Amino acid sequence: MRKEKEERKEMTLHGQDRKEQKKEMIQFKSEDEMAKLMEVLMELAFSSYMEYKKRIVCLTGGSVAGCLILETTANVNASLQCLFTAESFCGELSYLLDNSVHKLEDTFLRCFVELSRLRKSSEVQGGISKDSLLLALIESATDINPEFTISQQNDAHEFLCHCLTQMEESGRWLGWQEDVDPRCPVRANFKFKMRNIITCSSCGSRQNKVEVFNHISLPLVHNSVDQCLYDIVNNPTVLESKCKMCGGECANSRWTFHTLPRFLILQLNRFKVTEYYTVVKLHMPVEIKPELQINCHPESDTPEIENSKAEARETDRNELGGSAATYRLISVLSHVGSTTLCGHYLSDCSSSSHQWMTYNDQRVTLTTEMDVLKMRSTSAYVLLYERVSTG
Ligand SMILES: [Zn+2]
């Protein structure tokens, strides 16, 4: 799967079609060159608009094409606004792109950065609108993952995670690293490691492995976010697992944080697949906590069965000592509507001095954290937290 993705990516980067050739010619060193990029982006955006329009005409007869495009860009916009709230992350991306020595530009990264810069400015800057950048970004995402077409209501959480993955993969092409400069901002800000400890119910022997994540999915089993999270990282679940020591087939599995990210994405599982394979939305209220305390346990848990050497090396290399960290809520992405098929996404984002903004389609309005906590308890779908202190 990964290989296929990389091949597709390679085709994207080295393809012979006109658009790709144009992209390869661009290097950002002067205002002239920036203007050239804008021209190409406008063309990309226009061609993607026409392409989308063709697709929608086939599906619907065309009369709602404009509405669907607006709806899709609004949904994508809600996901992006949530990510833009991670300001230091956007700043790192912006700095890396501006100082890149690579001749190759990446449309997705460039559009993301330009949109994050335009966020607080007026609609048009340098002759290109937010909508054009948004369409170019969607087309670039569709090149990598054809699921993100305008013909269906895309899942905002999937799109948000796709953005991180696509930026990380683009960064790999640009030579961004994990441990040395230029560091990949996605890995440095969003990735974290969790340790899964599986204990045999019969003989008590342990298997122990570390996995990397960019978000946590929380089943809505309690009425507050911190309890749902506590459940994931503390309460063991029983699972079928063959023990290498005694042959036992039942084990307890539990997770602990091995490292903590700067920005933590929590997805609340509001969409549930029924036995008839339809998706229903869960409207139960969940208390959104403005602050979370999260414990991190980087120490090795003296496993009976050793990790592989590579995993052991990972174990030794920790960004944080064993401690608790405080996280502050900075953005809430909500799905407003009664079912998965109707309704749309909007996001509430913190800005400076305790002010919050609601991004809903084209409308941007002022709000407060208190209102967000109160009004989004039945619709919050993705929560973004920023680490503010490490104990
Ligand atoms: Zn056993």
Let me know whether 178 and 201 are in one domain: no
Let me know whether 127 and 221 are in one domain: no
User: How much is the pLDDT for 133?
Assistant: 87
| Alpha carbon of 250 to ligand 1 centroid (Å) | 8
| Alpha carbon of 306 to ligand 1 centroid (Å) | 15
| Alpha carbon of 316 to ligand 1 centroid (Å) | 27
Let me know whether 102 and 214 are in one domain: no
Q: With left for phi above 0 and alpha for psi between -120 and 50, is residue 28 left, alpha or beta? A: beta
Mean pLDDT of 340-349: 85
Mean pLDDT of 223-229: 95
| Alpha carbon of 245 to ligand 1 centroid (Å) | 5
User: How much is the pLDDT for 142?
Assistant: 84
SS (H, E, C) 31-86: HHHHHHHHHHHHHHHHHHHHHHHHHHHHHHCCCCHHHHHHHHHHHHHHHHHHHHCC
Let me know whether 196 and 181 are in one domain: no
Domain count, the chain: 2
Mean pLDDT of 280-288: 91
Q: Which of 162, 187, 212 marks a domain boundary?
A: 187
Let me know whether 286 and 239 are in one domain: yes
Mean pLDDT for the chain overall: 78
* C-alpha 364, offset from chain centre: 22
| Alpha carbon of 195 to ligand 1 centroid (Å) | 19
| Alpha carbon of 211 to ligand 1 centroid (Å) | 23
Let me know whether 323 and 376 are in one domain: yes
Let me know whether 183 and 198 are in one domain: no
Residue 47, pLDDT > 90, answer no
User: How much is the pLDDT for 37?
Assistant: 62
User: How much is the pLDDT for 352?
Assistant: 75
* Selection from 41-50, 150-159, 351-360 with the highest mean pLDDT: 351-360
| Alpha carbon of 155 to ligand 1 centroid (Å) | 41
| Alpha carbon of 314 to ligand 1 centroid (Å) | 26
**Cα separation, 314 vs 98, whole angstroms:** 31
| Alpha carbon of 253 to ligand 1 centroid (Å) | 13
| Alpha carbon of 205 to ligand 1 centroid (Å) | 6
- Domain encompassing residue 246: 191-390
Q: Percent of the chain at pLDDT above 70?
A: 71
| Alpha carbon of 254 to ligand 1 centroid (Å) | 16
| Alpha carbon of 229 to ligand 1 centroid (Å) | 28
| Alpha carbon of 202 to ligand 1 centroid (Å) | 5
The model's confidence at residue 69, banded by pLDDT at 50, 70 and 90, is low
Let me know whether 77 and 213 are in one domain: no
Let me know whether 179 and 204 are in one domain: no
- Burial of 318 from C-beta contacts in 10 A (0-12 / 13-18 / 19+): middle
CATH number, domain of 346, equals 3.90.70.10
**Cα separation, 320 vs 298, whole angstroms:** 7
| Alpha carbon of 279 to ligand 1 centroid (Å) | 39
The model's confidence at residue 132, banded by pLDDT at 50, 70 and 90, is confident
| Alpha carbon of 244 to ligand 1 centroid (Å) | 7
User: How much is the pLDDT for 68?
Assistant: 56
Dihedral in degrees, nearest 10, Cα atoms 112, 80, 62, 279: 140
| Alpha carbon of 44 to ligand 1 centroid (Å) | 58
User: How much is the pLDDT for 60?
Assistant: 33
Considering only 37-46, 67-76, 331-340, which range has the smallest mean pLDDT? 37-46
Q: Which of 130, 163, 187 marks a domain boundary?
A: 187
The model's confidence at residue 344, banded by pLDDT at 50, 70 and 90, is confident
**Cα separation, 248 vs 29, whole angstroms:** 63
Let me know whether 206 and 164 are in one domain: no
Q: Which of 187, 208, 228 marks a domain boundary?
A: 187
Q: 75 or 231, which is more confident? A: 231
Residue 316, pLDDT > 90, answer no
| Alpha carbon of 208 to ligand 1 centroid (Å) | 14
Considering only 28-42, 138-152, 262-276, 309-323, which range has the smallest mean pLDDT? 309-323
| Alpha carbon of 301 to ligand 1 centroid (Å) | 17
User: How much is the pLDDT for 321?
Assistant: 45
**Cα separation, 206 vs 304, whole angstroms:** 5
How confident is the model over 203-213, as pLDDT tens digits? 999 988 999 99
User: How much is the pLDDT for 53?
Assistant: 42
User: How much is the pLDDT for 56?
Assistant: 38
Let me know whether 271 and 355 are in one domain: yes
Instruction: Kindly report the backbone phi and psi dihedral angles of residue 121, in degrees, each rounded to the nearest multiple of 5, phi listed first.
Output: -105, -175
| Alpha carbon of 219 to ligand 1 centroid (Å) | 29
Let me know whether 149 and 196 are in one domain: no
| Alpha carbon of 201 to ligand 1 centroid (Å) | 7
Considering only 10-14, 311-315, 354-358, which range has the smallest mean pLDDT? 10-14
Please give the structure tokens belonging to residue 150. Answer: 């305008």
